[in-house]
């Protein structure tokens, strides 16, 4: 168990190293992936909304379902108007196993408005790199065709202008996330 969390911390630290190193390109930015209906979706399609970006996979035993359950609580804590101005995007880091239909079925258990996105492994890795994170598929020792997926567990909070404004560490209380969202939605001059 400690080894798994150590891996998450290592992957999360890549984000902070990226920030501290002062790379010229800021984290974040627009991207295009495919939604659960097979349509190409860009982050810019959600301009005017607060977006919470979450990288995960459907067979994740603990972190992903816990995070999605927490995001369900976050949405329920918002007013109806605020809910309409928030979009949760779940990008699978296991697109070879997570089909569009499976994403739809899985996410509906948490909230029917959560949007699942997928692409090729290369496309998903490119989006991860834009956001200063990564994932890896680790083969299981006893089976060459099966693998587990390791990925960072933070959330990415994107303002209505499409800019990454906050990294939210795994385990942040839902009340704190609600406050972050409400602060963004209360800012003047929103589109």
pLDDT at residue 5 in the model: 47
The pLDDT of residue 78 is above 70: yes
Instruction: Please write the tens of the pLDDT for every residue from 4-43.
Output: 544 444 444 444 444 444 545 689 999 999 999 999 999 9
Query: Among candidates 129, 186, 180, which has minimal Cα distance to 152?
Result: 129
Asked whether 50 and 159 are in contact (CB, 8 A), the reply is: yes
Cα–Cα distance, 112 to 73 (Å, whole number): 13
Nearest CA to 52 among 94, 113, 8?
A: 113
Which residues neighbour 51 within 8 Å (Cβ) at sequence distance 6 or greater? 43, 86, 87, 88, 89, 157, 158, 162
188 pLDDT higher than 90: no
- Give residue for tokens 């930015």: 29
Q: What is the pLDDT of residue 17?
A: 40
117-149: pLDDT as tens digits:
999 999 999 999 999 999 998 888 777 678 888
Kindly report the pTM of this predicted structure: 0.84
pLDDT band at 191 (very low <50, low <70, confident <90, very high): low
Nearest partner of 162 among 19, 53, 68, judged by Cα: 53
Q: Quick one: pLDDT at residue 45?
A: 97
């Amino acid at each position: 168990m400690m080894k798994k969390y150590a891996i998450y911390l290592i992957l999360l630290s890549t984000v902070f190293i990226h920030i501290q190193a002062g790379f010229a390109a800021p984290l974040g930015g627009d991207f295009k992936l495919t939604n659960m209906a097979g349509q190409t979706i860009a982050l810019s399609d959600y301009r005017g909304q607060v977006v919470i970006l979450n990288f995960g996979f459907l067979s994740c035993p603990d972190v992903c379902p816990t995070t999605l359950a927490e995001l369900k609580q976050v949405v329920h804590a918002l007013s109806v108007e605020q809910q309409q101005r928030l979009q949760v995007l779940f990008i699978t880091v296991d697109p070879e196993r997570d089909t569009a239909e499976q994403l739809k079925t899985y996410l509906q258990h948490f909230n029917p408005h959560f949007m699942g996105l997928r692409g090729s492994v290369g496309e998903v890795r490119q989006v991860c790199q834009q956001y200063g994170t990564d994932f890896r598929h680790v083969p299981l020792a006893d089976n060459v065709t099966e693998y587990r997926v390791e990925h960072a567990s933070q959330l990415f909070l994107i303002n209505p202008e499409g800019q990454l404004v906050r990294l939210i560490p795994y385990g942040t209380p839902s009340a704190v996330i609600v406050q972050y969202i409400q602060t963004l939605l209360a800012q003047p001059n929103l589109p």
